Structure 1
Amino acid sequence: MRIDLVFPPFDYSVLMPELGIPLLAANLRRAGFAVRQADWNIEFVVNELGRLSSLARLVERFPAEPVDEWRAAAEDPARFLARFAGALGRLAAGTGRRAVSPRARDSRPGGSAADPFEAIRAVERRTQKSCHLRPHQLGEDWREALERLPDRLRNPRTASAAVLAGLARWGARDPDFRARLLRLLQHLHFAAASGRVEDVLAAADRPDPLLDPFYDARLRTLFAAGTPRIFGIAIWSPLQLAPALRLARLVRTIVPDVTVVAGGAWCTYAASRLGELPELFDRFDAVLPGEADATLAALAAALAAGRSGGGLPGVVDRSAARAGRVAPPVPRPLERIALPVYDGLPLASYPERKLVLRLSRGCYWGRCTICSHVLPGTNGRCASRKDARLSHGHLQRLAGHIRQVRRRHGVRHFTTADNLVPPGILRQLCDLRRTERLDFTWDSLARFDREYDLAFCRMLAAGGCRRLDLGLEVADDAELRRIRKGLRLETALRTLRNLQRAGVGVMVFVVDYPGLPPETLEQTLEWLADHRELVPAVSISRFHLACGTRAWRAPESLGLRPAAGGERDLNVFDQPYESPGALDERRFAAIVRRYADRLPLGGFAYGAPEPGA
């Protein structure tokens, strides 16, 4: 039996291969199935949106506008992008759909004559300053590509030619310009008008001059070598949902008897909502929440034997969703899961040259009321304990895997796939590197903890650790107690000092959450600015109400109220809510902007250039 696994477009924030599909491929092959895997997200970003001839198909559909206005805008890259954003908004309006502005619902995506930068600000208030596009991903020089376009697209009297000339001028080989362009395309062209089911389905069914030729070419190539019995689509982000639904429909059109399944992080967080979303099962035969390595193998075995997969644990089809049988299965011990394989993935195309190591599960603390990454039910059953250790056999498998990845793919840096790695396992990783004489470096999520004394931090540095990402959230002991962080500010400061002395880099996370007084947010940023020598990078974000989390289960703990109609909103990582007195996005952005020169911001965009700047 043949199984195809695809990671669909379009989310530019993906830095490296996601672990899910490579892990599934390895375990399905071990079970005897033939598997092909592909990352069409990174291929779409690099090979489709990175080509001027592809963008020309979109530009040709822009509403007619004076050529001179486009030429004038092209004298400045920020003004050109603002006008481009406006054209995307007008194109959306002309095709009968509402243009989207991420969570800035009152902002007009096209901007206005008085403030043409509003579309850019609306996007950048909610996205990272960099979408991580790197020079090695720019395979085409757009200046040279402009000369290869058909004559009709280089006619100086047409607006399309002026737009393409502006793109070629500023995006020839400039990663920053192209990154900002990608953000605008993602949020103003590809994204659904809202997260509601109806808008996502409308976006999935809308013809697209960029996505449709890409899918057509990839499916023809993939199926030329044989059609699959199962076609699996991994959905990591809500931004991939409409393209995934479109892909599912196209696949079924070409191969009517294929079983189309969806899995990934989005499916796990959406599990409790599946009974309220019957429309999804018009596209997917089943959704597989949680870790699906054993589930998908069991489904494949059932289909190979001529049986239906209905009723299998972890296989949520239409009837299971209606009956509320949506709980993810209990995952197998890590020692019993095959380590990932990466054949078929274009590793040289990703922004960062690193892969994922899985050392533990969940979060051993798991009590923070504002956390959007931990599902208490699953975490309570499956999370590794703080005193967890890996077996000798599993450590030896990891050593072999690290050597193999270095030999086959030339990768020597890894990141962990865990919410929080126990200190004892980090110690084991360092010991493994030393005793096996392995040449690799790594970074990880971690927790401010008294165990991070100077000796431990020096051991981490000697063991290949280059950076730890640590959640501070707020620099106030009373607030830390209120959100059940289990942390005191003095512990955080001592940990930062020890890591600095040991030579380990740090990223510190800060969250503006419901109930946090604005002056305490400013106090937190001031505290970080005062200790800037200890903090090489800071990520500042807004609180997200994710389905299944502690805040979602007990919203009163943060004084918030889920908005009416949220059960039909498919953005399961950022559900709408009401919170009296919470900072609006503009005021939040204004506070952060005041610290832009004093803090090494690595995870927040503090706005487009002011008009005329």
Structure 2
Amino acid sequence: MKRVSAPSPFYEEFYARHVRPAAAGAALAGFSVLAIDQLLPALYFSARLRAEYPGMKTCLGGPWVSASWDALPSWPELFDHADYLIGFAGEIPLEQLLRHMKGELPLAAVSALARRRGGKVLRSAVKPGPPLEELPAPVLDGFDLDAYRVRCLPYQTTRGCEWGRCVFCYHVFPGNAPASKSPAKILRELKDLSRRHKVKDFYFADLATPVELLEALAAGLGRLKVSWSALARANPKFTPALAGKLRRAGCDWLFFGLETADAKSLRALKKGISLETLDANIRACGAAGVNVGLFILNYPGQPAGEFKDTLLYGLKRADHLAELAVARFEMGRWMKGRPGLGGRLAAGADKDLNSFSLPYLGAGVTSGKFRELAGPALEAFNRIVRSQKRGFGSVHK
């Protein structure tokens, strides 16, 4: 919090160029905090606006607020810099907050809202968000895509995860039931985004896009003549025939999560897939010309031998893969007490603002051993794919 109050020439320049012109004259200024790296600047800009415009209220929302929801009562100092925080699905709470500011609704009636009163942080009840089918299409007017090296837009087709049971996953919040837009709505919105913003490349920003939805979209995506990428779960329905159909429909990349190549550990992690199915999916999609990415996870308690065998699994399939991504387990604050996780939170974790990756102590592969094993494996993978002028391997942590 001390860093928020410290002057920053970089933040000041950004504030003068972008934040002040956008917010000047508004009754409410909002900041969406997707990652921990955005928290400090969001609080800084929020505090600057409150100082410069005393009548203005500020609000933070986004995934970080949702991830930190249970810890907010312990962090009253956040409200030295922002008036309100909105968690989870924010469409209805934000509308309610605006109605409150117009005098149409009491503040206590705003759902999923955190605020400070008398030194104590109050949180209102979290309620389900509106159906995805009822939400308007994304509006990106004024967003300068020419500033990016690649003209690609993220687009969300689903909410939550169709599986949602993996022990290690920090992407699924409790009570976040899966939902999907209809194929007709998706195709209609993609067509409009492509036309309005001259974009021919989309990334489906879902936790995992269901194979049934991809199949239902294939014909329409083909007519749009766009390329697209998605995350997906291994599924027997990814047959060679469907893989070919998706490729002809513009599928550029599909990313599958393996996590571990040990069948017993997959069951313990409640992954819900089989190695045989994943292997068939990789080969079918690769043969169809789809770039296939594979995620590997080093989880708490995993033996070094199992992690090494999993790296070898990916390396042996380099001819069919375009990317191999290896990550260390990260402990989300809301995962505390989840059964099946081996390990414990380190001392002081309750004060750590990085609610996506709390300090966590667990047996198994150390961070040094992780780098020792993953580095050479990925170098070997990269040599293979580069020789074929394809993708890459990467260590995420």
TM-score, with structure 1 as normaliser: 0.60
Between stretches 278-287 and 513-522, larger displacement belongs to 278-287
1:218 deviation in Å? 2.7
User: Are 1:563 and 2:341 matched, yes or no?
Assistant: no
CA distance in 2, matches of 1:602, 1:251: 43
In structure 1, the residue matched to 2:243 is 457
User: Are 1:413 and 2:204 matched, yes or no?
Assistant: no
Aligned partner of 1:291 among 89, 105, 109: 89
Could you give the per-residue CA deviations for residues 108-135 of structure 1, whole angstroms, max 9, x where no partner exists? xxxxxxxxxxxxxxxxxxxxxxxxxxxx
Q: Which runs of 4+ in 1 moved over 4 A?
A: 319-324
Q: Within 5 Å, which residues of 2 pair with 1:254-403? A: 254-305=52-103, 307-319=105-117, 322=120, 325=123, 328-375=126-173, 377-379=174-176, 382-384=177-179, 390-391=181-182, 395-403=183-191
In structure 2, the residue matched to 1:134 is none
User: Are 1:588 and 2:367 matched, yes or no?
Assistant: no
Structure (1 or 2) with the larger CA radius of gyration: 1
CA distance in 2, matches of 1:243, 1:587: 34
In structure 2, the residue matched to 1:542 is 328
8 Å contact kept, 2:208–2:232: yes
Could you give the per-residue CA deviations for residues 166-224 of structure 1, whole angstroms, max 9, x where no partner exists? xxxxxxxxxxxxxxxxxxxxxxxxxxxxxxxxxxx12212222322222133344335x
In structure 2, the residue matched to 1:604 is 395
Higher strand content, 1 or 2: 2
In structure 2, the residue matched to 1:516 is 302
Q: Which has the higher contact order (CA 8 A, sep 6+)?
A: 1
CA-based RMSD: 2.1
Change (3 A) 1:472 1:423: same
Question: 2:190 corresponds to which letter in structure 1?
Answer: I
CA distance in 2, matches of 1:412, 1:204: 40
8 Å contact kept, 2:211–2:235: no
Gaps of 5+ in 1: 1-200, 607-613
1:526 deviation in Å? 1.0
CA distance in 2, matches of 1:321, 1:308: 20
In structure 2, the residue matched to 1:217 is 17
Alignment length (residue pairs): 388
Q: Within 5 Å, which residues of 2 pair with 1:432-443? A: 432-434=220-222, 437-443=223-229
Question: 2:148 corresponds to which letter in structure 1?
Answer: Y
Question: 2:178 corresponds to which letter in structure 1?
Answer: A
CA distance in 2, matches of 1:431, 1:219: 42
SS in 2 for 1:486: coil
1:273 deviation in Å? 1.0
CA distance in 2, matches of 1:593, 1:264: 34
Question: 2:59 corresponds to which letter in structure 1?
Answer: V
Higher helix content, 1 or 2: 1
1:400 deviation in Å? 3.4
1:310 deviation in Å? 3.3
In structure 2, the residue matched to 1:190 is none
In structure 2, the residue matched to 1:572 is 355
SS in 2 for 1:534: coil
Question: 1:408 corresponds to which letter in structure 2?
Answer: R
1:254 deviation in Å? 1.2
8 Å contact kept, 1:275–1:321: no
CA distance in 2, matches of 1:536, 1:321: 53
Question: 1:378 corresponds to which letter in structure 2?
Answer: G
Question: 2:210 corresponds to which letter in structure 1?
Answer: P
Aligned partner of 1:532 among 292, 311, 318: 318
SS in 2 for 1:544: coil
In structure 1, the residue matched to 2:387 is none
Change (3 A) 1:444 1:320: farther
Question: 2:373 corresponds to which letter in structure 1?
Answer: I
In structure 2, the residue matched to 1:431 is 219
